[in-house]
Chains A and B, each alone.
Chain A
Amino acid sequence: MNTSIFQVAGPVMIGPSSSHTAGAAKIGRIARQIVNGDFERVTFGLYGSFEKTGKGHGTDKALLAGVLGIREDDEDISRSFELAGQAQIEFEFYPVELDGAHENSVLITFFKEGQVKTTVQGASIGGGNVRIVKIDGYEIGISGQLPTIFVKQNDQKGVISHVATVLADSDINIATMKVSRMQKKQDAICVIEIDDSIDETILQKLKEHPYIQIVRFIACA
């Protein structure tokens, strides 16, 4: 039997729905780590079933809780509107069309100083599992199952080699790696799933490359 008993006895979560509540909170929490928690305003474009049954399932509260850093099993999820007010975070929900997206999808936009900082598109794919589909329009695929490094860089030779070398030198095994760019020689992003968690020193070493703009570590567990 390859299924763990804890896939059946669990997850421990805030009700009522593993997809619409726990998954939504997890998408929000991952998105928060992508922007390093640094934003003043956040909007949520709700698509498909998230838009249609989201209110009764508390999907809105769960998404907001996630971007505030509240975990999927924390009862504070139901108080997230109030907690956002205390943290002086503005928020808004609106229906959105996302071409070809999963039924339970959301487009999260973070704002800083009145400007769009980052957009994150995510989907809740069942049983509390999620997928981050796009960051700033770049196609990616963070599953949330493994620790993940997110890098934004100039699309130039040598960047990926630098990332791979730093990780290899730090004895970190790469599970998956995906590089995307919008246009040749412009910005690109690199998403790396790794087997073990990493510390700040490794992130610093990654940042040392002149073409690397942003490095974030996303702890999904």
Chain B
Amino acid sequence: MYKNIKGLLALAEDRQVSLSQIILDNEVKHSEKSPAEILSVMASRYEVMKNSAEKALEQPTSPEGNLICGIAAAQYGYATGQSDTLCGSFVNLVMARALSSSEVNASMGKICAMPTAGSCGIVPAVILSVAERQGASEEKTLLALLTASGLGAIVTENATVAGAEGGCQAECGVAAAMASAAAVELWGGTPAQSVIAFSLCLMNIMGLVCDPVGGLVQIPCAQRNASQAVNALLSADLAMAGVQSYMDADEVVEAMYKVGKMLPMQLRETALGGIAATESAVKLMENMNNK
């Protein structure tokens, strides 16, 4: 089968099928389950993803221990309200959904890690919104999620998706790259365009540090879920418009991994640097702990 993204793409092009088909075949082999069983597990996880992406849109989550309570509802109100938005209602809705999953996560609600809990909003927001806009069938949507997860699996095996190891580029960055490739497939792009979108998306976030305020997965994680959902969409559009990445996707993954290793430990989930170390962040945590 395949060991990297190049191998995955080669198989898809040789057999003239989608990336998701190759990924499904690999999962069948790996898990000894049938394609139908695999799709059914993915369907149950998609249910969790959808719920988390929608839950906080109209009702803010529980405020206890939650620094980001209400941000999804505010964004949703802005996306669907009267005011003229800069990015348009679609992009604003995608951001609101990404914020919703982050809020649900922060308030001890149910989420599906994708690839991690801290980055759980990106793939659901993108796939749900693109599928909805396209009127895609459930099966086609699940296949897009397979593409996203299959690419994430390659990064997990060859590099990392842990913020503590690779910085936020490894969590939110990889989630965005996964979502971008899946969005291309869902929108009718070619496997090669999916892979280019993946590369562009990861390049766009290279070097992003992991600096959660107080060590909690809330600020700036939630906002990065929103921004990276948009990175996924714009990278998908870049790829489908014909922009090339020149570096192949595996090289970009390797570069991302190396950059992650070069980051000082203060910028890898220790809450000792970056946004977490600002005066305001420190005060915010003091106030929260005194409550």
Q: A residues within 8 Å of B by Cβ?
A: 1-18, 21-22, 49, 52-53, 55-58, 61, 73-75, 77-78, 126-128
Asked if B258 lies at the interface with its beta carbon under 8 angstroms from chain A, I say: no
Beta-carbon contact of A61 and B108 below 8 Å: yes
B146: chain A residues at CB < 8 Å are: 5
Asked if B153 lies at the interface with its beta carbon under 8 angstroms from chain A, I say: yes
**With A21-B108, A56-B65 known to touch, is A10 a contact of B116 (CB < 8 Å)?**
no
B interface bracket (residues with beta carbon within 8 Å of A): 35 or more
Asked if B100 lies at the interface with its beta carbon under 8 angstroms from chain A, I say: no
Beta-carbon contact of A13 and B110 below 8 Å: yes
Beta-carbon contact of B145 and A9 below 8 Å: yes
Complex Cα distance, B114 from A12, in Å, reads 9
Beta-carbon contact of A75 and B113 below 8 Å: no
Closest to A11 in B: B113
Complex Cα distance, B109 from A78, in Å, reads 8
Kindly supply a per-residue 1/0 record for chain B positions 29-48, scoring 1 wherever the CB is within 8 Å of any chain A CB and 0 otherwise. 01100000010011011001
Binds A, one of B79-87, B201-209, B210-218: B210-218
Q: B residues within 8 Å of A by Cβ?
A: 1-3, 8, 23, 26-27, 30-31, 38, 41-42, 44-45, 48, 62, 65, 104-118, 120, 145-146, 148-150, 152-154, 156-157, 161-162, 178, 214-218, 271, 288-289
Complex Cα distance, B62 from A56, in Å, reads 13
**With A8-B156, A8-B161, A56-B216 known to touch, is A14 a contact of B110 (CB < 8 Å)?**
yes
Closest to A75 in B: B110
B62: chain A residues at CB < 8 Å are: 78
The 9 closest A-B pairs by CB, nearest first: A15-B105, A8-B152, A5-B149, A78-B108, A3-B153, A9-B149, A53-B215, A56-B216, A8-B149
B117: chain A residues at CB < 8 Å are: 13, 15-18, 21-22
Beta-carbon contact of A15 and B104 below 8 Å: yes
A3, A11, A53, A126: most-surrounded residue (chain B CB, <10 A): A3
In the complex, given contacts A58-B65, A78-B107, what are 20 additional A-B residue pairs having Cβ atoms less than 8 angstroms apart?
Answer: A1-B8, A5-B153, A7-B153, A8-B115, A8-B148, A8-B149, A8-B178, A9-B113, A9-B115, A12-B45, A14-B111, A15-B111, A17-B117, A18-B117, A22-B117, A53-B215, A56-B215, A57-B216, A74-B110, A78-B62
